[in-house]
Amino acid sequence: MQRLTGAQILCESLIKEGVDTIFGMPGGAIIPLYDTLFQYPFRHILCRHEQGASHMADGYARITGNVGVCLGTSGPGATNLVTGIATAMMDSVPMVAITGQVPTYMIGKDAFQETDTTGITMPITKHNYLVMDVKDLARVIKEAFHIARTGRPGPVLIDIPKDVTTNTAIYEYPTKVNLPGFKPKLQGHSKQVRQAARMIEQAKKPLIIAGHGIILSGAYSELRAFAEKTQVPVLTTLLGISGFPETHPLYLGWPGMHGMYYANMAISHTDCLIAVGMRMDDRVTGRLNAFAPHAQIIHIDIDPAELGKNVRTAVPIVGDAKNVLEALLEEVKPGHHPEWMQTLSQWRIEHPSLALPAKAETMSSPWIVRELYHATEGKAVLVTDVGQAQMWAAQHYFFERPNTHITSGGLGPMGYALPAAIGVQLGKPEEEVWCVTGDGGFQMTLEELSVLVEEKLPVKIALFNNGYLGMVRQWQQLFYDRRYSGVKMWNPDFVKLGEAYSIPTIRVAHVDGVRAAFEWARAVEGPAMIEFVVDAEENVFPMVPPGASLQETIESAEDLAPKMQQVAVAAGSDQGGV
Amino acid sequence: MKHTLVALVENQPGVLQRVANLFSRRGFNIESLTVGHTETDKISRMTIVVDGATTQVEQVIKQLYKLIDVIRVSDVSEDRTVDRELALIKVHCASASNRLEISNLADVFRGRVVDVATDAVIVEVTGTDDKIDSLLGMLRPYGIKEMVRTGMISMVRGAQITARGSEARMLEAAG
């Protein structure tokens, strides 16, 4: 057995965990660690801001299914990672964040670049560690990776004081973890599976809603087989998109605040809702007391705390989505529901939600997304930011292949898309990766453009420039009487900006140029950026106003006027939700 | 309704902070929380009294289970338990006759006077919170100068181990 420094122990252990790519930035407290890192065969991606590193690790983890690793120094390095860690926590993304800390003998003395990193990240990590003794380091790393990837995935932070990275210990990587308080249940209880199967067989209007759990557990074929055997239509959540092929006849879109009208109506009328790997987020449910009012709910999730947290559940099943769907598939009898399917297709005809003209007259964002879909034949991976562009991308691109829609659902940090797209492209170099973003979100993390060039990553950026913080402007238009407070933006010349980063960039301000622009970008060998100067005041519809129920889905601003006046008032008040 | 939760936790630095954080973050109110060693090395025991509807308490328990350092949690509210809290109460005491009265009152509640000064005494009493509240009510007219209570600890009666029986119940409820 060898004696190694803490930094060596960390590097050796990361190799044991299969880590090959690390996203980070050095700083005072981790100079010894970087000195060692330099001597190991990792691919180190130098972010330009640690928030970028955390989102890159997130994107890398989502696309590969492996634990993403990000690294920052003490103090500001750690606090800059926080947004990305919180994002990973809300969206159940496996991540290990490693932070430097001031030396053990200086902790608590308000030393230069000291923060209580474990204290700050306690509520936004699955677990975290402050390693005070180099002898504990190997065990801690083993546990951290195990916790991050096991059960419901999530971020784990390891805070390592500078002297712990230079002190030495005998190194032996543990083969097992001993965590009596961490034993996730992966198999569904057979009694409850039987109960669920009977309930599904008896249902007249059953409905599946599939979440991120499908993608995290790789339950694509199980979900599909289950839906086809039972002939139950499938909704996904925003994070569940690409967990089920969107052109499948049983696919019914996604519900919620900007979901499809017919999807929201389906939830409002179903008598048996089978929720798999999702957590009943308020963006999905609308007003809770009017959610799925006629349904008995079967809720399958790996996290027992999600069952019964927001909605009443008739049959709760704790387990991994893949395992439970497998068990259900075996247990349930084939079914068919012609009347229900008829009702659903009637809604789809009467309220198509996603209908677009073959050619738009103005620079309409949904139409541009649809053009992207045609240009890429639905085969690209879309990494989207937060806000209007995110919603339009999710609505108007039809995702066929598993895990090709990467977005932040829970935390909703603007600036997510570009760094996450970098992580995605690094994780899957052979994929065509599009970063779909707006002028607001793009400017939050555009410093990472350097990384695209430095690492020669062929990420294509579709930048929707409407000169506004569009989603907030939409709310102000609809619910705050058009008082546009703090949403109008002066923007730089994005073409020149692209040039400054030596990224080929073009501006498209007319519909005639859209298709050609996509073809141009796809033909560029490395990264490329298209700035679309889009209609400034276009809104995302359908929409469930905040505080309203899914039945109250509106399809245009005019819809809101007469019948939704009360809803608008509620939305502008404290009672309206967020 | 008040619920008494017993949690066995790994005796790690920060475990109290994790539990306390969880309660404040999820908007659950703690009435009292005590921590101490157990018969097993490296394992501490928390007794947490919370106020809340049953479903909310179930959510508290599930959230507690998500903490890696939490090994076992049980709601012992419906079990037959021995519940104890210790209080020290410093009572104003101007005269010898008051002193005697206070001592007699303490006797009734099986408490005792553990410190005497010219114008104050310290009464020590253990029992359920009801009992301590009753004694406090009797002592209040004399003037309470200072008081400290430990918060409740709780143990299931009989041979059954406190944090085992109700765990099975909990898991069943959770599916």
CB-based contact A181 B59, cutoff 8 Å: no
Across chain B, mean pLDDT equals 90
Confidence band, pLDDT 50/70/90 cuts, at residue B56: confident
The encoded tokens of residue A507 equal 């501006």
Q: How far apart are CA A127 and CA A123, in angstroms?
A: 9
CA separation for the pair A341, A338 (Å, rounded)? 5
Give me the pLDDT at residue A409, please: 96
Q: How confident is the model at residue A383 (pLDDT cuts 50, 70, 90)?
A: very high
pLDDT at residue number A568 = 56
Distances (CA, A) of B4 to A236, A440, B24, B68: 40, 49, 17, 21
pLDDT of residue B119: 94
| CATH topology classification for A365-533 | Rossmann fold (3.40.50)
pLDDT band at B169; cut points 50, 70, 90: very low
List of chain A residues whose C-beta atoms are within 8 Å of the C-beta of residue B18: 122
Read off the pLDDT of residues A229-243 as tens digits, 9 standing for 90 and up.
999 999 999 999 999
**CA-CA-CA-CA torsion sign (A164, A168, A172, A178):** negative
A188 → chain B, closest CA residue = B175
Q: What is the pLDDT of residues B84-134, one digit of tens each?
A: 999 999 999 989 999 999 999 999 999 999 999 999 999 999 999 999 999
Angle between helices A388-396 and A365-376 (to 10 degrees): 50
Helix spans in chain B (H): 15-25, 54-66, 96-108, 129-139, 162-174
pLDDT in tens, A263-312: 999 999 999 999 999 999 999 999 999 999 999 999 999 999 999 999 99
What strands lie across the sheet with B70-75, from one edge to the other? B29-37, B43-51, B2-10, B70-75
CATH assignment of A190-350?
Answer: 3.40.50.1220
The DSSP secondary-structure symbol of A231 reads T
Q: What phi-psi label fits residue B81: left (phi over 0), alpha (psi between -120 and 50 degrees) or beta? A: beta
Angstrom distance (rounded) from CA A411 to CA A58: 13
pLDDT at A544 over 90: yes
- Give pLDDT, residue B55: 75
Report chain A's mean pLDDT, rounded to a whole number.
96
Write down the pLDDT at residue B147.
96
Return the closest-CA partner of residue A84 out of A471, A538, A414.
A414
A436 touches A369 (CB < 8 A): yes
Q: What is the pLDDT of residues A453-483, one digit of tens each?
A: 999 999 999 999 999 999 999 999 999 999 9
Of the pLDDT bands very low, low, confident and very high (cuts 50, 70, 90), residue A565 is low
Q: pTM of the entire structure? A: 0.95
Coil, helix or strand at residue A315 = strand
Which residues of A make CB contacts under 8 Å with B? 118-119, 122-123, 126-127, 130, 147, 179-182, 189, 192, 303-305, 307-309, 315-318
**Residue in A147, A179, A304 closest to B62 by CB:** A304
pLDDT at A488 over 60: yes
For B37, list phi and psi in degrees, rounded to 5: -70, 160
Q: How confident is the model at residue B175 (pLDDT cuts 50, 70, 90)?
A: very low
Query: How far does the CA of residue A379 sit from the closest CA of chain B (Å)?
Result: 38
- Residues in chain B closer than 8 A to A147 (CB atoms): 68
Catalytic residue IDs of A = 50, 112-113, 162, 471
B64 touches A at CB < 8 Å: no
Q: For A374-382, what is the mean pLDDT?
A: 97
Band of pLDDT at residue B25, cut at 50, 70 and 90:
confident
Q: Residue A466 has which token pair?
A: 């409407």
Q: Band the pLDDT of B173: cuts 50, 70, 90.
A: very low
Nearest to A491 by CA among A433, A526, A534, A430: A534
With a cut of 70, say whether residue A58 has pLDDT above it: yes
Residue B174 scores a pLDDT above 70: no
**Which residues lie below 8 Å from residue A364, measured CB to CB, with a gap of 6+?**
A356, A511, A534, A535, A538
**Chain A touched by B155 (CB under 8 Å):** no
| Whether residue A94 has pLDDT greater than 80 | yes
Question: In the predicted model, is pLDDT for residue A504 greater than 80?
Answer: yes
Average pLDDT over residues A62-89: 98
Q: Are strands A272-276 and A206-210 parallel, antiparallel or unpaired?
A: parallel
Cβ A308–B55 below 8 Å, yes or no?
yes
Task: Give the pLDDT confidence score for residue A2 in this predicted structure.
Answer: 85
3-state secondary structure of A30: helix
The yes-or-no verdict on residue B168 having pLDDT over 70 is: no
pLDDT at B162 over 70: yes
Which residues belong to CATH 3.40.50.1220 in chain A? 190-350
Q: How large is the ipTM?
A: 0.90
3-state SS, residue A107:
coil
Residue pLDDT, tens place only, A146-178: 999 999 999 999 999 999 999 999 999 999 999
Q: A114-119 — which CB contacts under 8 Å span 24+ positions?
A: A114/A74, A114/A75, A115/A74, A115/A75, A115/A78, A115/A79, A117/A74, A117/A78, A117/A157, A117/A159, A118/A157, A118/A159, A118/B14, A119/B17
Min Cα separation A42/chain B (Å): 30
Which pLDDT band holds residue A571 (cuts at 50, 70, 90)? low
> Confidence band (pLDDT; 50, 70, 90) for A206?
very high
| Average pLDDT for A89-97 | 98
Give the rounded percent of residues in chain A with a pLDDT score beyond 70.
Answer: 97
Q: For residue B15, give how far its alpha carbon lies from the nearest alpha carbon of chain A (Å).
A: 10
Residue intervals in chain A for CATH 3.40.50.970: 2-171, 365-533
Structure tokens at B120: 């104050």
Which residue in B170, B105, B87, B108 sits closest to B142, CA to CA? B105
- Residue-by-residue DSSP string for A326-346: HHHHHHSPP---HHHHHHHHH
Class of domain A2-171: alpha beta
Residue A513 has pLDDT above 70, yes or no: yes
Q: Structure tokens of B154?
A: 């709780």
Domains of chain B: 2-79+158-174 (3.30.70.260), 82-149 (3.30.70.1150)
